Amino acid sequence: MGTQHIISIGDFDRDGIDRLLDHAGQIDKKKFDPDALAGKILAVLFFEPSTRTRMSFESAIARLGGTSISVGSVDACSMAKGETLADTIRVVSGYADAIVIRHPKEGAARLAAEFSTVPVINAGDGAGQHPSQTLLDLYTIRQSMPIDGIDIALVGDLRYGRTAHSLASALSLYNARLHTVSPNGLELPQTLAAKLRDRGMEIIEHDDIREVIPDVDVLYVTRIQRERFPDSASYFNVSSSNRITPELLEGARKHLIVLHPLPRVDEIDPRVDNSPHAKYFEQSRNGVPMRMAMLLQVLQ
């Protein structure tokens, strides 16, 4: 049996996902050996900054008794100077028992896995995959409701938002119905939409977030980056029209949950934070048990 990597959520079947979610649930109930990965070293190789993903993985390995050695984004820059990613990976896999990689280019994680002698976990590569985020998203949904057959609205930048793409793909295994609300020009890519429909997923596009609120179980809000817009007036216009407020949620289902991969900027009114709908901070916290389950899967 070869080395096990976690590169894309698309590499998992539904059983594989459910097993990981179950495991994270056990870990959440403190049912794990705090020395399970004692003596193991996780190399955290981030070629672009992502403080929270990095800290979450570092926390996960520490909770299991292991150690992380980190390459900051600045270091990684200098590391990569003139050296191929293949060489970097071969060197780093001599220092560690597993590698978590984040890279600005799509496909980098799969390339890394080819050259690594130890397991590689993709922590986001370009517009590509971010499987640990998708798993913790699914885990957070399942804490509130069975995932099967949910109605979920994806709100925000659905063109560039890799977390939304990964989650939509995974949900096609759970008979979910997808509602999309995105500004002009930031719609879900047609090729992805076509692929999801091929798998039998129903996708409904909406122009107005208000019309989707009463009909969904999950609101998945993503950050809209100011850089996508020609000027701040048009950014402000778009971000305020989709802004989640307590007033907007008045007509929502009682069990509706609001998720966001964070950081948020203007997309969710802070007054929503104390509402029972708000689950984004739990979602963030769930990153630790979910990543612990992933580390145990590849390292045990």
What does the binding site for its own copies look like in residue numbers (CB under 8 A)? Answer: 34, 39, 41, 43, 49, 51-52, 54-56, 58-59, 62-63, 65, 67-69, 71-76, 78-79, 81-84, 86-88, 90-92, 94-96, 262-265, 270, 281, 284-285, 287-288
By C-beta, is 6 or 92 nearer to its own copies?
A: 92
By C-beta, is 63 or 162 nearer to its own copies?
A: 63
The radius of gyration of the chain's CA atoms, rounded to the nearest angstrom, is 19
By C-beta, is 63 or 179 nearer to its own copies?
A: 63
**Residues 253, 257: Cα–Cα separation, whole Å:** 9
Minimum CB distance to its own copies, residue 208 (Å): 26
By C-beta, is 155 or 196 nearer to its own copies?
A: 155
Minimum CB distance to its own copies, residue 74 (Å): 6
Residue written as token pair 């039998």: 200
Residue 129 identity: Q
DSSP E strands: which ranges in 74-227? 98-103, 120-125, 151-155, 177-181, 202-206, 218-221
By C-beta, is 24 or 176 nearer to its own copies?
A: 24
Minimum CB distance to its own copies, residue 180 (Å): 24
Kindly report the number of other CB atoms within 10 A of residue 21's CB atom.
19
Phi/psi for 125 (5° steps) reads: -130, 110
**Residues 152, 66: Cα–Cα separation, whole Å:** 37
Residue 39 DSSP one-character state: T
Minimum CB distance to its own copies, residue 284 (Å): 5
By C-beta, is 108 or 196 nearer to its own copies?
A: 108
**Residues 241, 210: Cα–Cα separation, whole Å:** 10
By C-beta, is 11 or 83 nearer to its own copies?
A: 83
Of 115, 5, 100, 110, whose CA–CA distance to 44 is shortest? 100
Give the ranges where 154-249 is alpha helix by DSSP (H).
162-171, 190-198, 209-212, 232-241
SS3 of residue 45 by DSSP = strand
Minimum CB distance to its own copies, residue 263 (Å): 4
Minimum CB distance to its own copies, residue 3 (Å): 16
The answer to whether 148 touches 258, Cβ cutoff 8 Å, is no
Minimum CB distance to its own copies, residue 55 (Å): 5
